[in-house]
Amino acid sequence: MTEATHDLYKGYRGPCLEVMKRFGITVWCEVRAETTRGTFEGLLLPRSETSDDLHLVLKLGSGYNIGVRHDTVRSLEKIGYREAHYQIPEKEFPTDPVKPSVKLFGTGGTIASRLDYRTGAVIPAFSPGELYGSVPELAEICNLETEKLFGVFSENMGPEQYLRLAEEVGGAIREGYDGIVIGHGTDTMHHTAAALSFMVQRPPVPIVMVGSQRSSDRPSSDAARNLINACSTAASGPIAEVMVCMFGPTSDRYNLLHRGTRVRKMHSSYRSTFRTLGDIPLAMVQDGEITPLKHGYRPRRDDREVTVQAAFEERVTIAYYYPGMHPDMIDALVEKGYKGIVIAGTGLGHVNRRIYPALERAHAAGVHMYMTLQTLWGFVQMHVYETGREILQLGVVPLANMLPEVAYIKLGWALGVHPDEPDAVRELMTATIAGEMTEREPHDGYLIFQGGVPEVQEFLEKIWR
């Protein structure tokens, strides 16, 4: 099918396409459908490519959509034509010379978007004008410039994008922006945050990653609030680090700023999905006001000097250990040329004896192996039990409380920076350069409350809302 005919029958194939052609109907026709289930009138909409090929979609005058099965159709009569042309209205983003300037990079997530009401398609709003149209509060915070780097979903972000993003962020800092915001899908936001934490070193200004858990076409979306708080943080916040700025509680109350190497997405759909693990968050942000919680963050500087080390070795993996794991899992990785393996071990950093020989072979083959924890909270401690001591002897290096995903990113980066210097890689991996390992875990760095406990219920009722 040519592109043009494809558009005429957008999304329709098989029997539906035949019916449309038989009656000379295309999408955006207003039709009267005589069917075995009665007569229906509506605007023929494009069909989602992932839906079946058995139903025509009509939008009724009331705004409802319905599906009409192809084999119920006796006739289709064209009674009008109304093609949807959907465009996001642009309003010029006002600039104010006294306001800080912020650069917003887009990677493809829909931090701000508008909805095509007829098809339901979400159209990203991204240019300053579009953003101003949907979140006018931004103009009160900063002068905003935007640049779309990629158009990929979060899960498709990878090493190639990390390198480009790091270079662009470095460039923007040198250009003189007062802060950087990166719009990003939430699924792998913490991977990208870690990558930037290692690649963009000693930034003088905030680098704030932001996304949304409810898309901005929904009235209850967290997008606008996240964007407003992220822009405030970037424009005038005191913390010059790579951070994730997302909802604190599920309520519309305040955002938290999480350090890029200690943050993790912890729920598939909650607004408050991002949590700092093993430590407290850097700060709270509410209505543009930033309240630091943690001491010892890197403060904002007036210079615009920054070191960018953009490199990544892709033959690195995470091996998520499970009790029945066979040694050939590790052998296969070595055989396939993997250069680094981050093990997510059980408990204090354990794997079963059965795979020892494979670890030994991998070590002999020069594969870098590091131990992290499935428990996510706590430190690797391989001296407590004999198992741990044995594994250490096999060449597996413990990474304290570095999160498995952070360790993966860091190992890829370290191997990228020092491709042929195993000692340098090892040295880099065991040194803390962006808060990825902490010397100590505060008592309130691990808080997972259990519902139902009376004191927790009391807390929920009175405070957590």
Q: Which residues bind another protein (CB under 8 A)?
A: 30, 32, 35, 37-43, 51-52, 54-55, 57-58, 60-69, 72, 79-80, 84, 86-89, 114-120, 122, 133-134, 214, 216-221, 224, 250-253, 267-271, 451-452, 457, 460-461, 464-465
Q: Catalytic: 188?
A: no
5 assigned ligand-binding residue: no
| Nearest distance, CB of residue 83 and another protein, angstroms | 12
DSSP secondary structure, 224-254, as one string = HHHHHHHHHHHHH-SB-SEEEEEESSSSSS-
Catalytic residue among 107, 186, 192, 273: 186
Residues 6+ apart with CB under 8 A from 266: 273, 274, 275
CA distances from 143 to 38, 94, 128, 137, 298 (A): 57, 7, 9, 11, 24
- Rounded to whole angstroms, the Cα distance separating 322 from 340 reads 19
Q: Is 269 assigned to a binding site?
A: no
Q: Compare residues 213 and 401 and give the one whose CB is closer to another protein.
A: 213
3-state secondary structure of 205: coil
Distance of closest approach, residue 67 Cβ to another protein, in angstroms: 2
Separation in Å, CA 336 to CA 213, 360, 367, 416: 37, 16, 11, 18
Q: Is 273 annotated as a binding-site member?
A: no
- Residue 356: in which H helix or E strand, if any? helix 356-364
- Residue number with CB closer to another protein (57 or 367): 57
110 catalytic? Reply is: yes
- What does 301-328 look like in DSSP terms, one character per residue? -SS---EE-----S-EEEEE--TT--TH
The H or E element containing residue 45 is: strand 38-45
Separation CA 127–CA 146 (nearest Å):
6
Tell the smallest beta-carbon distance from residue 130 to another protein (Å): 10
Query: Shortest distance, CB of residue 52 to another protein, whole angstroms?
Result: 8
Tell me whether residue 68 or residue 210 sits nearer to another protein (CB atom): 68
Catalytic residue among 107, 110, 273, 372: 110
In the complex, the smallest distance separating the C-beta of residue 75 from another protein, rounded to whole angstroms, is 14
Nearer to another protein (CB atom), residue 56 or residue 244 = 56
Residues 74 and 347: their CA atoms lie apart, in Å, by 66
Q: CB nearer to another protein: give 2 or 268.
A: 268
Active-site positions?
110, 186
Binding residues: 154, 186-187
Binding residues for substrate: 154, 186-187
